[in-house]
Each structure stands twice: as C-alpha cells, then as structure tokens.
Amino acid sequence: MSFIEFDSAVFSWPGSPRPAIRGLSFRIDEGEYVAIVGRNGSGKSSLLRLMNGLRHVDAGSVRVDGLDAADSANARALRSTLVLVFQSPPDQIVSTVVEEDVAFGPGNLAIDRAEIRRRVDEALAVVGLEAERKSPPHFLSAGQQQRLAVAGALAMRPRCIAFDEATAMLDPPSRQAMLDLMDRLNAEGVTIIHVTHDMSEAARAGRILMLDEGLLVRDAPPEAFFAKDGEVLESFGLPPAIALARTMGFEPRICETAGGCARLLADSIGKGLLQRPGAATAGAGAAPGGAIPAARGVGAAIDGAVASGAIPAARGAGASGAGAAIGGAGAGSNQQPPAPAFSLERLGYSYLRGTVNERRALSDISFVVPKGSVVALVGHTGSGKSTILQLLNSLALPSSGRILAFGRDPCEPKADLRALRMRAPLAVQRPESALFEPYSADDVAFGPKNQGLSGRALVERVREAMQKVGLPYENYRDRSTRSLSGGEKRRLALAGVLALDPEAILLDEPTQALDPAGKAAIMALITSFAATGKTVVFSTHSMDEAARADMVAVLRGGALLAFGPPGEIFGNNYDEAWGIGRPWAAQVAVALADLGVWSGPTPLDIATLAARLGSRLEQGAAGAATADLAATAADLAATAADLAAATAGSTAAGREAPR
C-alpha cells in the first residue's frame, strides 16, 4: 500500500463550471521527494487540498496512509500526518508571538503542555528561529515567516509536508534556505511534496508530476522528465542547465549548481577544444559578419547574428555592451546624454517619522535614470526597493536629499503631485488586488478618466492599453475582472497603468508569483514599452530579469551598493558581499573561468552563453582540424538561440507574444 493514493479523483470548486481535477490517479510512497508543476489553474493547489481533507473529491478516492481523505472523521489524523505550507507567509500566521504560533497546531490536538513545549523547542531549532521565539511574527522577514510556517508544520510531527508554492514570494537567499530545509527534512525521512513554478526547483526532487487542466500529463524522474521533448514543456520553462544542454545539443543532465554544470560542460566539451584565456577574445571581437548586434535578449537578434555566422557579443562588460539592452538607451552614446527621467540626490527616507517607531528606509541614495532606459532594482526584502519606487511616484516625499521627476521637484509647495504621479504611474506589488470595477475595460478606464478623457478618445486609449498587454479589447472588455486568471489580472492591472499614456512606468515586483508564461508576458511587456523610447523602473528578485535592464541598482539595508549596466554589475564589478547572486549564465561562465576554460565578457543569458560556447567549439575544432565537430558546431549554434529563447523562465526570451 502506498502512502498517498489518488484513484480517478474528480473535483470541482463550488460554483466553477469546469472541474479542477479530472480523473487523477497516481501514488506516492513514504519518504519520496515529489515536485508538482503546472500552469496557474492546472489543479495543483486543489490536489494538495484534497490530500489533507480541506476539500473533498466529487468522485474517485484519495487515501493518505490508508485513511479516506474525504471522510471528515479522519480530518484531524490526516492533517497531522500531512501538513501544508502555503504560498503567502503572513497569511498562515495565527498568533502574535513566534513560539505561540508554532504551538498552535499541537495545541489544537489538545496534547500535554510539556510535550508541546518540547516540540516547539525542537521545531524552532530545526528552522533556526530560536532567537526570534518571543518576537511578533510580523516583525520577521518573509523568509523567516515562511520558516516559521515550516516550524508550525514540524511541531505536528508530520510524516509528509506539502509546500504550495512556498518559495514564490521569497528573495533568493530565503528561497535557497527553504530549499535546503526541504532537502534536509527529506533526508530525515519526511515525505516532501513541492508545488512550484520554478523548473530548477522542481529538478531537485526525485520525481516530477506535471498537471495540465486537471490531468496528469507527465510523471518521471527529472532527467527523464526533461529529456522528452514536448510542446507543453516549453511554455513552462526549463531549468537553465537543461535549457543550455538542449541548446548545445548535449544529453540533458540535472545539476544543482551552476558550478556543477560548468564542470559537466568542461568535461563534455573537452578542455582541449576550448580556447585558452586570451586567444578567444580577439576572435569574438572580429567575428565575420562585421557589426555585431549586442545580444538584446530578444531571440530574433540572436537568430540573425548566429545564422550569418556572427558571434553575438555578450552585452555588458565588453566595449559594445555598456548601454545596449532592452531599451537601447546607450545606443546613441556619441550624442549628448538624454535628459534624465528621474534624478535622485542623496535621498533619504524614514517611515513613521517623529514617532518612537521611526525606521530609516533609505539613506543617501544618488543615481540618475536616463529617459528611455530600463532600470532594475535588486536587493533583499526590506532593502528599500519599494520605497524608492514610491518616491519616484511621489507617493512618498523624501525626508532628506532631493528627487527630480522629469525635472520637477515634488517637494515644491506648488508641485501638482497628482499630475506628476500620472506621468510615471506605479504598479504596486500585486496590483491586481486594487482592481475594483466588475468589468475589465471599466477598470482600465479609471486612469484616463481621471485625466479628463471621455467618449471616443477614452475608448481608444483603453483599447490601445489592453492591446499592449495582450488582452484584446473586443474579447476582454466585458469579461468580469473576477473571472480572469492570475496572470491576466496582473496584465489587466498593468493595462490600467499604461492607459495613462505615461512617460515612464514603475513596477514593483511585476512578475512575483506568476507562472513562467505569465512572467515571460510581463517581461515582454516591459521590452515593448521600452522600445517606444519610454522609461521603466522595476524591482525584481530574479537576476535573470535584472540582467535584461539597461542599468541595475543594487540595494541593501536602504543603501545603494552599486549602480551600473548589468554587464558590469554581474561581470567584473560583481561583489559576493552584495548577496544577490548572478544570472545563471554568468554563474556558469564564472565557474568555467575558474576551471580555466573561459575568458572575456560575462554572458548574462543562456543564448549568449550557448553561442559563445558554440563559437569556442568552432574555433577549437578548426584548430584541432576535427572537421566533424566543426560542422555540427555551427548547426548547434544556429539552433541555440532558437531553443533557448523558448525557455521563458530563465533566459531572456521575450518574443513570446502574451496570450
């Protein structure tokens, strides 16, 4: 008998016409580590809720440890055997003190108080929150809150913990800590079920189940899972290592770290075929094809360059790289610099100024956002990213220093803040939670109406904005905002911002908690908006997304640590102490450099990395007169960008049209 058994399970949410789960059968044994992947709305969350009896099947059966999960009498036994950890950290905290929250679950089992204390001590030790045991949970960081949720789960002494996208809202270090914790618990025999959108997280599991529209469409260990081709996979994004292997035409291998991947690469390619440092750079610069378009992360550019035999120069650290990126702000570097959209001079900001709880959020921030550029803000939770965006939007006014938005100082007594805000509107985190009209087009019209538009002009503006985000006006105007999917709601909210026809947009973690297709759509939106010469400032926890900006601002504890083009930030100027990590491709290149088989500019996306590796192969092969390899290498490189561009999650694709 298996630990968890689904037998032709069918389930619909109340009021929903379509079943969320349509005849699902599979088994999970005790001690397994299983990842569950699938688009938003594919039935992943329903699945978990069926397992611990929060929801009951309409037909078929679900058994956990032999217990019928649809029988309410088993609820308590089920929920202490299989515990859920949810996506949003603050929404699963019940108590106002850390240790008491951990005790909530066992307390509900009405067991002895001394035993509860033992369990609380133990659980807090496992997740490393002993020092915070007396603190109020809302003073913890998101990562700590999520570890608190795990502690609360552990205190139930469960045999299985199911994580429902529990890493989606965490910054990279907290995310890593959470993944390590899952590994450790699994090593101790706890069954782990991890629902995730991130394919490299899924690849850590021993087995991956993929759901699509309530059906199980694939069930395999990671290597076999990713080895198979399939249309479905591409819209989900691939783990970067797999994407690279596919691009290069190698047998896909799962490797957990970029360093491991680099070692595999070095072995697979053969060190002899790769140029030694120094030799290759000249080749790269003077490649046939003449002018080399800097890789702009857009598939088409790479395709063209590779097809004509040119080698796309890694943008960034190289001479051509500094400015060329999404917006192409640096393109005309010979002309006079464009007027800044925003300039910040020694900017400081404190929350709750003049109270005992005053908290300094920013100090001494100075940088300039040129018109038409794309700037990414990166840094841990609480590093000041959101605060900067609010200052740029004049929602907050500086406590010290000066800020100019389009040459205007919002602190001037006569400043028209409302007009200023509409010139560079801010999409707050989860902007879809501010949707208020029952019908989609009406909500988009809110902004332009406030600008005084009406009649035809208003409709035209709304139509245009909805078109830009890929929600055609004709099909979506009368759709109820509540009926849209998560990704569609996010895009509708962004349409509401674009409808102001602004000069700049400010986006606070625009891709947070979206599935890979949703993320790709948002990044494509940024690209196309910037292509019209407008300014974008966005914050993100993904370095792969940040690498697609013209400039990256690295923040920590309210201070600006670095500001520069991504090629520099993630290249030569990179500092481990920032604690932000690099784009995956850059990590591999750095690891390859450590192995002595890489030199030159640091690539920021997989397409560039693959193309450069391909060109090394070509040159090396020519040198060694291995004609065979040389011929295939060119082919490989040609398909490289193509394949990599489709890996929405981790590469810089962006040409995928929003649905």
Partner 1 sequence: MKDLQFFANVSIGQYIDSGSFVHRLTPVTKFFGILVFFIVMFANTNVTGTTLLGLWVLAAALAARVNPLFLLRGIKPAMPFLLILSVLTLIFQSGTTGVALVSIGPLSIHLSTLLALLLLFSRFAAVLAAIGLLTSVTAEQEIAHGIEDFFAPLGRFGFPSHEFSLMIAVALRFVPIVTGELESIVKAQASRGGDFGASGINPIRKARSYLPLFVPLIIRTLERAELLVEAMEARCYTGDERTRYTTYEMVAGEGFVRLGLTLFMAGGVVFGLYFAKTLP
**13 forms part of the interface with partner 1 (CB under 8 A):** no
Does residue 497 belong to the site contacting partner 1 (CB under 8 A)?
yes
Closer to partner 1 by Cβ: residue 381 or 451: 451
* 492 interacts with partner 1 by CB under 8 A: no
Q: How far is the CB of 438 from partner 1 (least distance, A)?
A: 9
Dist. CA 389–CA 158, nearest whole Å: 42
Contact with partner 1 (CB under 8 A) among 91, 188, 412, 628:
91
Pick the stretch among 185-193, 425-433, 537-545, 566-574 that binds partner 1 (CB under 8 A): 425-433
Task: Report the alpha-carbon distance of residue 272 to residue 621 in Å, rounded.
Answer: 9
Task: Write the DSSP string, 86-118.
Answer: -S-GGGG--SSSHHHHHTHHHHHTT--HHHHHH
Task: Tell me which of 7, 31, 68, 97 binds partner 1, using CB under 8 A.
Answer: 97
Window contacting partner 1 (CB under 8 A); options: 26-34, 184-192, 444-452, 560-568: 444-452
94 touching partner 1, by CB under 8 A: yes
Q: What is the maximum span of the chain, computed from C-alpha positions, in angstroms?
A: 77
370: which strand partners?
340
Letter string b/e over residues 599-621, b meaning 16 or more CB atoms within 10 A of that residue's CB: bbbbbbbbbbbbbbbbbbbbbbb
* 91 or 231: CB nearest partner 1: 91
- Residue 433 found at the interface with partner 1 (CB under 8 A): yes
| 538 neighbors 510 (Cβ within 8 angstroms) | yes
Part of the chain binding partner 1 (CB under 8 A), chosen from 86-94, 121-129, 532-540, 596-604: 86-94
Among 15, 16, 17, 112, binds partner 1 (CB under 8 A): 112
- For residue 126, the tally of other CB atoms under 10 A from its CB is 18
Residue whose CB is less far from partner 1, 156 or 374: 156
**Who contacts 480 (Cβ-Cβ below 8 Å, separation ≥6)?**
438, 439, 440
Tell me how far apart the alpha carbons of residues 418 and 447 are, in angstroms, rounded to a whole number: 11
Give the residue among 146, 125, 128 at the shortest CA–CA distance from 137: 146
**Minimum separation from the CB atom of position 32 to partner 1 (A):** 21
- Beta carbon nearer to partner 1, 97 or 232: 97
Residue 169 Ramachandran class (φ > 0 left, ψ -120 to 50 alpha, else beta)? alpha
The Cβ of residue 472 has, within 10 Å, a number of other Cβ atoms equal to: 11
Report how far residue 655's alpha carbon sits from residue 592's, in angstroms, rounded to the nearest whole number. Answer: 29
Residue 450 in the binding site for partner 1 (CB under 8 A): yes
Smallest distance from partner 1 to CB 21, Å: 18
Is residue 582 a contact partner of residue 543, using CB atoms and an 8 Å limit? yes
Q: Which is nearer to partner 1, 357 or 532 (CB)?
A: 357
Q: Report, in Å, the least distance between residue 322 CB and partner 1.
A: 32
Closer to partner 1 by CB, 355 or 532: give it: 355
Report the site for partner 1 in 124-143 (rule: CB under 8 A).
136, 138
- CB of 5: closest distance to partner 1 in angstroms? 20
Q: Is 385 in the site for partner 1 (CB under 8 A)?
A: no
**Segment interacting with partner 1, rule: CB under 8 A, options 60-68, 81-89, 197-205, 244-252:** 81-89
Hey, which residues does 36 pair with through a beta bridge? 195, 209
In the complex, what is the shortest distance from the CB of residue 613 to partner 1, in angstroms, rounded to a whole number?
44
C-alpha to C-alpha distances, 134 to 101, 128, 129, 150, nearest whole angstrom: 10, 14, 10, 17
Q: How far apart are CA 256 and CA 258, in angstroms?
A: 7
Q: Which parts of 30-59 interact with partner 1 (CB under 8 A)? A: 52, 54
CA pseudo-torsion sign 89, 95, 99, 100: negative
Segment 519-558, which members bind partner 1 (CB under 8 A)? none
Return the range that interacts with partner 1 (CB under 8 A); candidates 281-289, 427-435, 536-544, 583-591: 427-435
User: How far apart are CB 64 and partner 1 at their closest, in Å?
Assistant: 13
Q: Which of 4, 47, 84, 507 binds partner 1 (CB under 8 A)?
A: 84
* 426 belongs to the binding site for partner 1 (CB under 8 A): yes
Question: Least distance (Å) from partner 1 to the CB of residue 645?
Answer: 33
Q: Is 488 in the site for partner 1 (CB under 8 A)?
A: no
- CA separation (Å) from 61 to 71, 102, 113, 267? 10, 32, 36, 48
What distance in Å separates the CA atoms of residue 154 and residue 114, rounded to the nearest whole number?
16
Total residues contacting partner 1 (rule CB under 8 A)? 73
Residues 393-422 that bind partner 1 (CB under 8 A): 393, 395-397, 417-418, 421-422
Q: Does the footprint of partner 1 cover residue 90 (CB under 8 A)?
A: yes
**CB 632 → partner 1: shortest distance, Å?**
53
Q: Which is nearer to partner 1, 422 or 520 (CB)?
A: 422
How far is residue 1 from each of residues 33, 63, 75, 160, measured CA to CA in Å? 18, 10, 20, 16
Of 98-106, 573-581, 632-640, 641-649: span binding partner 1 (CB under 8 A): 98-106
Please name the helix (run of DSSP H) or strand (run of DSSP E) that holds residue 546, with its range, or none: helix 543-546
CA 341/CA 420 separation, integer angstroms: 12
Among 23-31, 72-80, 280-288, 556-564, the segment contacting partner 1 (CB under 8 A): 72-80
Which residues in 221-260 contact partner 1 (CB under 8 A)? none
Q: Considering the complex, what minimum distance in angstroms separates the CB of residue 657 from partner 1?
A: 26
Q: Could you say which residues in the range 331-370 bind partner 1, by CB under 8 A?
A: 351-357
Considering the complex, state which of residue 315 and residue 421 has its C-beta at the smaller distance from partner 1: 421
The tokens 């997304």 sit on which residue? 545
DSSP 73: G
Q: Tell me the window of 6-14, 218-226, 429-437, 528-536 that interacts with partner 1 (CB under 8 A).
A: 429-437
Q: What are phi and psi of 28, to 5 degrees?
A: -130, 130
How far is residue 101's CA from residue 588's CA, in Å, rounded to a whole number?
Answer: 41
Residue (of 406, 416, 424, 417) closest to 497 by Cα position: 424
The first and second tokens of residue 197, run together, are 């959108």
Give the footprint of partner 1 on residues 273-292 (CB under 8 A): none
**Which span (30-38, 365-373, 432-440, 467-475) binds partner 1, by CB under 8 A?**
432-440
CA 576 to chain centroid, in Å, comes to 21
DSSP letter at 613 equals: H
What's the residue count for the chain? 659
Residue 106 binding partner 1, by CB under 8 A: yes
152 touching partner 1, by CB under 8 A = yes
Q: How far is the CB of 442 from partner 1 (least distance, A)?
A: 11
